[in-house]
Amino acid sequence: MFTEGPAGHEKEIVRRVAARQNGGYLLLLDPQRFLREVGVELTPEAVQETQKAHPEFFATSGAEGAYDLVAKSEAGGDVRVTVSGLFRKVTA
């Protein structure tokens, strides 16, 4: 279980997204469900911390039907979603 938010494990999570068939699509459709399915368990505190720092990250949760269809499909079609990071980097 990760006690800190996804930002603290970004490289490992991005690796898991790339390793999963249609991982980029699934992450976009329902980030919390996808993270659970690839073995990233966040504490409630870590989820709250992430929601506060990056409110857009979990904004798409709740697309169960679409998520299930994409998870069952073998290929992503003509469009492929490649994830190279989880959060925008803010520079001062």
Q: Whose CA is closest to 12, among 41, 40, 31, 37?
A: 40
78 versus 1: which is more confidently predicted?
Answer: 78
Span 40-75, pLDDT tens digits: 887 888 888 888 877 777 766 566 788 888 888 876
Q: Residue 38: left if φ>0, alpha if ψ -120 to 50, beta else—which one? A: alpha
Structure tokens at 22: 């249609």
pLDDT cut 90: percent of the chain above it:
0
State the pTM of this model: 0.71
Report H helices in the chain: 10-19, 23-29, 31-37, 44-53, 64-72
List of residues 6+ apart from 34 with CB closer than 8 A? 17, 20, 23, 26, 27, 67
